[in-house]
Structure 1
Amino acid sequence: MRIRAITLDLDDTLWPVLPALESADRELDAWLQANHPDVARAWPIPAMRELRAQVAAERLDLAHDFTTQRHLTMQRAFAACGIDEAPLEALWEVYFSARNRVELYPDALPSLERLAARLPLASLTNGNADLERIGLHGHFAARVCARDAGVAKPDPRIFHAAAERLGVAPDEILHVGDDPVMDVAGARDAGLHAAWINRTGEPWPAALGPAPELDLRDLGTLADWLDAQPAHGPSA
């Protein structure tokens, strides 16, 4: 393969996302207890999570938009307590700030620096991580998220949107991510090359077809692979 650009998944590729999401839930709950105790009592964390799952199930048209899903969840929680106008701006700032306090995998930052020195990078995510808040935006030539694209991985259109932003043909892009369906199968179906970041050494799911071109334990291994390719761009 010949690669002229890389697209990178974010959550669970550059950092583990669950700790950040759990922290965001706790901080939102603490804010509610301090500012709207009636809502906090009616909607403890497990109940709020169930409500969000209900919103997601009812609003399949918002499957690509986690932010609006959470806004609707907050509105419903407040409405159920007799409050028509939820303080969405304050609620979202509490949640979003905590959601973006992520702890990078140890290999993530040095690998990003190495990758960005070789090829243009674009972030490609279904989530709502904010690279500016996290402090990684300087490594990326482009950023594409499902909410802005109107579709989520594994839909080919979001991969093609990233290719357009990069100005590179899909078959000259390597997509890198942790999810076999969303990242690897999705990228391949869209005509991109795919690298699977497989930190736990899982076997490739045979139901998804051939194994990915690159099955890597971390981003450092990807950077090593890229460094071993010819200076004019990887080809094999």
Structure 2
Amino acid sequence: MSIKAVVWDVDDTIFDYTAADRAGMRGHLAAEGLLDGYESVEQALARWRQVTDAQWARFSAGETDWQGQRRQRVRVFLENPLSDAEADAWFDRYIAHYEAAWALFPDVLPALDALAASHRHAVLSNSSLLVQDGKLRVLGVRDRFEAVLCAAELGVSKPAAAAFHAACDALGLPPHQVAYVGDHPEIDGRGAAEAGLLSVWIDRDGARTDDDGGPAGPRRIASLSELPAILGADTVLERRPPSGNVLPAPPESGPKGR
């Protein structure tokens, strides 16, 4: 069965979240006069990313809501039990710096253009619709996607199969006709593969080598310029024997129990 649609992750897949977050927090901490408490800017940024990852994991596990994880990021980072209003105000000041640094990766528009006539497109993110829909509009690509689905509204997060299946349902397609592109080897790569989608893991920094125990299942690429060739090569999945990183074809009738 041919791949008819591509579902995309947003942060660090099409949007350079890491660079924007670092630039935004660097500017914010300087404006707040908080850099003196750290040995270096890099130490401060590493601390912010550590706190962000920990609170994001709590949100993904359903232990807090969207606004709660933001407030707790501020409180833990500052080591200060701020009120909700104080934490919100601090985060909003950071957001102003962060948004000023927003940018697409340079390979995004060429890839979307190359696939525009051949594949349908949607977004699945472990974020909120308010944030990601607005972000895609500011970046000028919202009209490229038929649907934008986010964990905060779905009530389920990647790597749960239900999240990927919700994106497939929004497109009216079975999982084996959908490819998923994301930057996280487990949450995106393994999650999409185990949900029955053609999983494409974009490993932009190339930090992992072929023998370092990367996830089984997903195809790995270093640039989105490689994506059209993968989708073309895998147009008829059942004709290719499973080997290496090639996903075995699901049954023609699609996954059971959906």
TM-score range for the pair, normalised by the shorter chain length: 0.7 to 0.9
2:25 aligned residue: 25
CA contact (8 A) 2:126 2:151 kept: yes
What is the CA RMSD across the aligned residues, in angstroms? Answer: 3.6
Structure 1 residue ranges without an equivalent (≥5): 34-39
Q: Per-residue deviation at 1:203?
A: 1.4
CA contact (8 A) 2:125 2:149 kept: yes
CA contact (8 A) 1:28 1:91 kept: no
1:184 aligned residue: 189
1:60-209 equivalences in 2 (<5 Å): 61-62=61-62, 67-74=67-74, 80=80, 85-86=85-86, 88=88, 90-100=89-99, 101-127=101-127, 129=132, 130-199=135-204, 200=206, 202-203=209-210, 206=213, 208-209=215-216
1:36 aligned residue: none
Distance 1:77 1:215 in 2: 34
CA contact (8 A) 2:60 2:126 kept: no
Offset from partner CA, 1:22-53 (integer Å, 9 cap, x none): 122233334544xxxxxx58987567666656
Distance 1:225 1:94 in 2: 42
Q: Per-residue deviation at 1:202?
A: 3.1
Counterpart residue type for residue 235 of structure 2? P
Distance 1:43 1:146 in 2: 35
State percent identity of aligned pairs. Answer: 29
Q: Which has the higher contact order (CA 8 A, sep 6+)?
A: 1
1:234 aligned residue: 235
| SS, match of residue 117 in structure 2 | helix
Distance 2:84 2:14 in 1: 39
Offset from partner CA, 1:189-217 (integer Å, 9 cap, x none): 112111222332731654743x43x3333
Counterpart residue type for residue 95 of structure 1? Y
Question: Is 41-50 or 191-200 further displaced after alignment?
Answer: 41-50
